[in-house]
Amino acid sequence: MLAFHGVPDLERFEQLLDEVLLDYIPVSSEDVRRALVGEGALPRFPVWFTFDDGVPSTFHAGRALAERGIQATAFVCPAVLDTHQYLWFQAWERCREVGLLDGTDDRERFALARLKSLPDEERRAETAALLARLVSAGVQPPPQADQAMLQAWVRQGHDLGNHTWDHPMLDQCSPEEQREQVISAHRDLEARGFAPRFLAYPNGNGSQAAADAAAGLGYAGSLLFDHRLTDVAGDRHRLSRLRLDSDAGPRRAASVASGAHSAAMHLVPRL
């Protein structure tokens, strides 16, 4: 399973797709679902293309994917669909881009690793402070993906998955909030006419309460972001994915897709 975020450079991404498809056979979420529940087998050297966060550039790549016979899955957060609002980490990224985090104290207070480690309420408070800085600086958020983009994506043969309501760090939320994040996102997507069958944990931080909520909704599986090859015979709600930038060059794409890059990366800390 390959995990991407946006596709800022479509031409580079098309080159990546062509490189990967030289050696791998694209499969859909339905193919993966069938393999997980024992209703079918995947081909040799399968690859499932997944995209997290639901940024507009992902949906702009829908045609390029479909033209190559790829049925991809985009995992979205309904809280920001049809809005001009940031997900929390997008607010952090924008503050950094426009120089609003240049102070010494700011670099420590708003370090991304620190924000990810905070209890959910505290992280939301810090996010509010970031948003206030953007407003004061007159920085306007860009539009998020909208219903028309989602519908066009599905018409192209792709599908949508659950990425929680608004992308919290699930392991920093209470069990009740974890369940609410998964269930609220599912209900919103269903109301929009879509049928999610998989959950992708935000930041890859899996949790038992979220996994249980996904299982209760009848989901076939839940996806991590751990840069490892997938074992479809393992825990269906802890499915590994390989991380890959959409503008990666041919050698990097081949290394990641094969699992060689992952093996080397996870070996280093043990040396």
Q: Which domains does the chain have, with CATH numbers?
A: 2-83+143-270 (3.20.20.370), 88-136 (no CATH)
At 23 the pLDDT is 94
Query: What pTM was computed for the model?
Result: 0.94
At 268 the pLDDT is 47
Each residue's pLDDT, cut to its tens digit, for the chain (271 residues) gives 999 999 999 999 999 999 999 999 999 999 999 999 999 999 999 999 999 999 999 999 999 999 999 999 999 999 999 999 999 999 999 999 999 999 889 999 999 999 999 999 999 999 999 999 999 999 999 999 999 999 999 999 999 999 999 999 999 999 999 999 999 999 999 999 999 999 999 999 999 999 999 999 999 999 999 999 998 889 999 999 999 999 999 888 988 988 877 666 555 454 4
At 104 the pLDDT is 85
> Do residues 202 and 170 touch, judged by C-beta distance below 8 A?
yes
> What burial letters (b/e) apply to 5-30, b meaning 16+ CB within 10 Å?
bbbeeeeebbbbbebbeeebebbbbe
Report the alpha-carbon distance of residue 75 to residue 161 in Å, rounded: 4
Report the alpha-carbon distance of residue 126 to residue 62 in Å, rounded: 35
Amino acid at 211: A
At 266 the pLDDT is 55
